[in-house]
Copies of this chain bind each other. A is one copy, B any other.
Amino acid sequence: MIRFDSDYLEGAHPAVLSRLVETNQAQTPGYGEDPFCREAADRIRAWCQAPRAAVHFLVGGTQANRTVIASVLRPHQGVVAADSGHIAVHETGAIENAGHKVLTVPGAEGKVTAQAVEALCAAHFADASFEHTVQPGMVYISNPTEIGTVYTQDELAALYAVCQKRGLPLYIDGARLGCALVSAECDYTIARMAELCDVFTIGGTKLGALFGEAIVITAQALQKDFRYFIKQNGGMLAKGRLLGLQFLALTENDLYLEIARCEVALAMELKAGLTQKGWGFLVDSPTNQQFPILPDTVLTELRQDFGFSTWQAMGGGMTAVRFCTSWATTREDIQTLLRSIPQA
């Protein structure tokens, strides 16, 4: 059985793991106030060319989203997201549990557009009874999106311009950020992206870490008291250095992007192979998630030897499924998979 269900099915990249092993006996203060976390934060600030950014490390993505959003919004405000946004559909209402409505707009291939945000704000404030509805308070996007698409620089710049005009902090969930940055669609660096938003995450879990998301808060106004929020939301890891150590490993020798390049390259190989066989896709994804549309008969066969996620019934006996590559995926895995899928 080779599993492509998701990108968190194995442990950590060996370089990450060995860092944990080497430092195992060292004593450090807890709760993220250790030298490893400090150094990793410095590295990230340097990488993002954001010397005044606050950098924090959390264990998981839902935790990061919930904590960031709870720290930004006032109670009467909601967070704008695509209808396919992770916070809108796959976090068991964590945002609502923190008291906030997720104000969804129709996604354009999973992306929130500048126009959609402007329209939402215009409608809200034009309404004579606006106090009876939730006020848009910030914007959440994922890059890459939940269906693997990547924002272009123009899209980000337009979106951020609307956000600034409307006074809405822009938050980018980068659970798979590396895959966006190395994708063919991406025409910007992380430093440029850091200028086009107020806070973003650099996801480690899906790019070689055992776990860990770095939160980078570039907007000074959003930095205050953030550690209280981490603790209150249950995200302050006692042995916090585990997070710093992993991000130290990931930011060394370009490892984070190198892992991303491998993931994306193998995904492109899969995409090319399937295209060649005549199969279509739910969406044209340039990252490590691919959503081919295959006959149910083929899928039944495939399930005996491969793991993957069912995404969406397409009618006519066809289903869109998801294959993910991870740091541990090999070219051989992809070739084996391709050999098992017939021509269209």
Residues of A participating in the B interface, judged by any CB pair closer than 8 Å: 1-3, 5-6, 8-12, 14, 17, 20-21, 23-31, 59-63, 66-67, 70-71, 74-76, 78, 89-94, 96-102, 128-129, 131-135, 205-206, 210-211, 225, 227-239, 242, 307, 310, 328
Contacts and interface: CB of A to CB of B under 8 A. Distances in A.
Assembly of this chain: how many copies? 4
Contacts of A228: 76, 92, 131, 135
A237 B99 contact: no
Contacts of A132: 31, 90-92, 231, 236
A74 B225 contact: yes
- A contacts with B: majority SS: loop
A27 B12 contact: no
A234 B66 contact: yes
A-B pairs with the 8 shortest C-beta distances?
Answer: A63-B234, A11-B24, A76-B228, A8-B238, A93-B134, A92-B232, A92-B231, A131-B227
Nearest to A241: B11
B9 A23 contact: no
A76 B232 contact: yes
B63 A235 contact: yes
Nearest to A78: B93
A100 B102 CA distance: 11
A225 B94 contact: no
B25 A225 contact: no
Nearest to A310: B128
Contacts of A1: 27
B236 A76 contact: no
A322 to B, nearest CB: 12
7 contacts: A8-B30, A9-B28, A11-B20, A78-B96, A96-B96, A96-B101, A132-B231
